[in-house]
């Protein structure tokens, strides 16, 4: 079996590799960036992909990676391994094509359980996250981020980091004008007028790990 791990945390990678070796996985490939991960995927055709969401910044680029991969491949199992526990982000990851979602502070036993479930073509979400999402859907989600597009969500996460517009444009590979327009749309959706107000909402509603470049 071949596994591809896409993560920029050496400690996380080493831990995953040890756990996978203990489970008898023969071949583990590692990518520290999403572009490298996509290249290795095309070359090696892994049986399962384990991916973080925030690499290398807090732009939630892993969501774009999953959505892009699903254009080419609807079958290869994808297990998200992330620090993001916000139910809206978990739900968005599943919507774009992830088969399972696991938090990085999980136990080795739960990692093994999630890996085997996803490997065998079954969905995986631990009880707590599943309950949160079910509750969110039952009451009607009041989180304002639920109305965001993927590009808006990525932009907002970078705003929460205090990144200037030009840096956001470079990170998302879009024009400066696109970032300005996206922020104007965000302000309209969230009912604010200024960038500081927008940043306050981003920090309030995005999980703490989103604001850390190494998350």
- Tell me the mean pLDDT in the region 51-76: 84
Residue-wise pLDDT for 172-198, tens only, equals 888 999 999 999 999 988 888 888 888
pLDDT tens by residue, 77-120: 999 999 888 777 888 888 889 999 999 989 999 999 999 999 99
Which pTM was predicted?
A: 0.72
Would you tell me how many other CB atoms lie within 10 Å of the CB of residue 21? 11
pLDDT > 70? residue 140: no
Q: Specify the 3-state DSSP secondary structure of 117.
A: helix
Rounded Cα distance between 38 and 32, Å, is 11
Q: What are phi and psi of 49, to 5 degrees?
A: -120, 130
Q: Where are the domains of the chain?
A: 2-139, 144-211
Q: Which CATH architecture has domain 2-139?
A: 3-Layer(aba) Sandwich (3.40)
Domains 2-139 and 144-211 share a fold: no
CATH of domain 144-211: 1.10.10.10
């Amino acid at each position: 079996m071949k596994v591809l791990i896409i993560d920029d945390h050496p400690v996380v990678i080493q831990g995953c590799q040890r756990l996978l070796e203990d489970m008898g996985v023969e071949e583990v490939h590692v990518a520290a960036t999403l572009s490298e991960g996509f290249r290795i995927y095309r070359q090696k055709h892994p049986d399962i992909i384990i991916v973080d969401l925030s690499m290398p910044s807090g732009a939630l680029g892993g969501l774009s990676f999953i959505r892009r991969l699903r254009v080419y491949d609807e079958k290869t199992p994808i297990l998200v391994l992330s620090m993001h526990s916000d139910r809206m982000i978990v739900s968005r990851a599943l919507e774009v094509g992830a088969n399972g979602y696991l938090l990085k502070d999980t136990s080795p036993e739960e990692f093994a359980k999630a890996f085997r479930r996803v490997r065998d073509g079954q969905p995986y979400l631990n009880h707590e996250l599943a309950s949160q999402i079910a509750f969110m859907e039952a009451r009607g989600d009041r989180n304002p981020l639920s109305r965001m597009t993927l590009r808006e969500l990525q932009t907002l996460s970078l705003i929460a980091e205090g990144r200037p517009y030009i840096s956001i444009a470079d990170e998302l590979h879009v024009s400066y004008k696109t970032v300005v327009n996206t922020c104007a749309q965000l302000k309209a959706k969230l009912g604010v007028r200024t960038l500081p107000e927008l940043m306050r909402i981003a920090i309030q509603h995005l999980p703490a790990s989103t604001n850390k470049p190494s998350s």
